[in-house]
Amino acid sequence: MSEKKKTTIVLFSGDYDKAMAAYIIANGAAAYDHEVTIFHTFWGLNALRKENAEPIKKGFLENMFGKMMPKGADKMGLSKMNFAGMGPKMIKKVIKKHNAMTLPQLIEMAQEQDVKLVSCTMTMDLLGLDEKELLDGIEYAGVAAYLGDASEGNVNLFI
Amino acid sequence: MSEKKKTTIVLFSGDYDKAMAAYIIANGAAAYDHEVTIFHTFWGLNALRKENAEPIKKGFLENMFGKMMPKGADKMGLSKMNFAGMGPKMIKKVIKKHNAMTLPQLIEMAQEQDVKLVSCTMTMDLLGLDEKELLDGIEYAGVAAYLGDASEGNVNLFI
Amino acid sequence: MSEKKKTTIVLFSGDYDKAMAAYIIANGAAAYDHEVTIFHTFWGLNALRKENAEPIKKGFLENMFGKMMPKGADKMGLSKMNFAGMGPKMIKKVIKKHNAMTLPQLIEMAQEQDVKLVSCTMTMDLLGLDEKELLDGIEYAGVAAYLGDASEGNVNLFI
């Protein structure tokens, strides 16, 4: 058993700002040498979608979900003050102005720091998402694997 | 003191999808032999309401809350893409199609697995909910009892 | 190192009801002699804003954020059933009727109980909030300080 501290985050939310918070905490924990896992479930899976994945044959409902949900981190809306898409633009502007990192940059940094990015297989099944539509280098698992990590975690959050 | 691992979840949200996530994690943890508590507070209490409870005499505000809030798990909306009730129908369809469990089924399973379902007494008081309106076999407690469980918990989540 | 139990809460949400839940748990934990930290980030910072702070010179975007976001705990909306501001009025009425505490009262109580209220400096920078606009007696820190507290915490929640 490792002596490292462990941090796990369930990212349920598909909101840009909540995902930012999740990845900022994850990157911080990784910088302090924690073993970090982000388990993406439900709408949180959208953060892992590729912007330009090849279209995949799906059933009607799965196709509808696929079309209606944001394709990747950069397309996600805000939990508050979304203003039909104006809010994310404002946030991205202040991020740029203050030399902070956008969500896609935070995800890239997490991958460089070996944060374990997990895609919930049950959600993929329900919403009809395919591995080909998701970022490379991520893992696939279910609630049992999450609980294995979390039950040894020092910091466990649901976002 | 028991040697079992402990998982506690505060279910604050009244959203169908968030409650599903809470109950999926709870059922998973119970299957792995954790002692599991779900503390239902604020809108999360709606998951415990009976669909056809006898009407109860209440004050005006309590009556209004009672009428406006969803009566039971099956009536709850989605946190995202609710589309005036279309979203929950779509989710229930894909759940059925993929042989997954609906929220009422997940709650039943949790009760069979002895997950401790707690109703927050302060919320019941504030929103004017009566024991007769809630599912049988649940417990009633306040924040002190929750903290007692959580401070020994391996996995503590707020959903 | 202290033998006291530790509770940490990340308050991300700017909703009145979610902030109430955070402060009720925090005050409960403090009453049971936990060391308690609430780390206010993103919209959660609004709970710490003074109602009548002197206007401060800001850039255009920061000024807009400042104007659009609620000025202090009493001005925050509900996560559910906000009804264009009617919901908070109803909640405040039932709180008064049942002799429960409003959010500003819960915050005051937390300060009296030495709950550590922290304002996220990264968020202040992004949204253009100044120390002069926030409550007196709070601390200023970043994600590293939060993780230091949380990695020793018995109960860690993200709200």
Residues A10-45 have pLDDT tens digits of: 999 999 999 999 999 999 999 999 999 999 999 999
pLDDT of the residue at B87: 86
A12 and B21: CB-CB below 8 Å? yes
What is d(CA C94, CA C113) in angstroms, rounded to the nearest whole number?
25
A142 CA: distance to closest CA in chain C (Å): 22
B152 pLDDT above the threshold of 90:
yes
Q: Do B156 and C156 touch (CB under 8 A)?
A: yes
In the numeric block, the tokens 């502007």 are attached to: A93
Nearest to A147 among B18, B29, B159 (CB): B29
The rounded distance, in Å, linking the Cα atoms of C3 and B147 is 17
- Determine the distance in angstroms separating the CA of A4 from the nearest CA of chain B, rounded to an integer: 16
Q: Cβ contact (<8 Å) for B61 and C29?
A: no
Chain A: give the shortest CA distance to residue C6, in Å: 12
Chain C residue whose CA is closest to B59: C94
**Could you give all domains of chain C from N- to C-terminal order, each with its CATH number?**
6-158 (3.40.1260.10)
What is the Cα–Cα distance from A14 to A76, expressed in whole angstroms?
7
Each residue's pLDDT tens digit, B51-108: 989 889 998 889 988 999 999 999 999 998 887 788 899 899 999 999 999 999 999 9
DSSP, residue by residue, chain A: ---S-EEEEEE----HHHHHHHHHHHHHHHHTT-EEEEEE-GGGGGGGB-TTPPP----HHHHHHHHHS-SSGGG---SS--GGGHHHHHHHHHHHHTT---HHHHHHHHHHTT-EEEEEHHHHHHHT--GGGB-TT-EEE-HHHHHHHHTT-SEEEE-
Cα torsion angle, C158, A23, A19, A130, sign: negative
**C-contacting residues of B 75-104, CB under 8 Å?**
none
Helix (H) or strand (E) holding B158: strand B155-158
CA dihedral sign, ordered C19, C20, C23, C24: negative
Question: Which has the closest alpha carbon to C69: C111, C14, C11?
Answer: C14
pLDDT tens readout for residues A78-102:
998 887 788 899 899 999 999 999 9
Q: How many angstroms separate the Cα of C32 from the Cα of each of A19, B144, B147? A: 33, 8, 9
Quick one: pLDDT band at residue C86, thresholds 50, 70, 90?
confident
**How many Cα atoms are found within 13 Å in the side-chain-facing hemisphere of A47?**
36
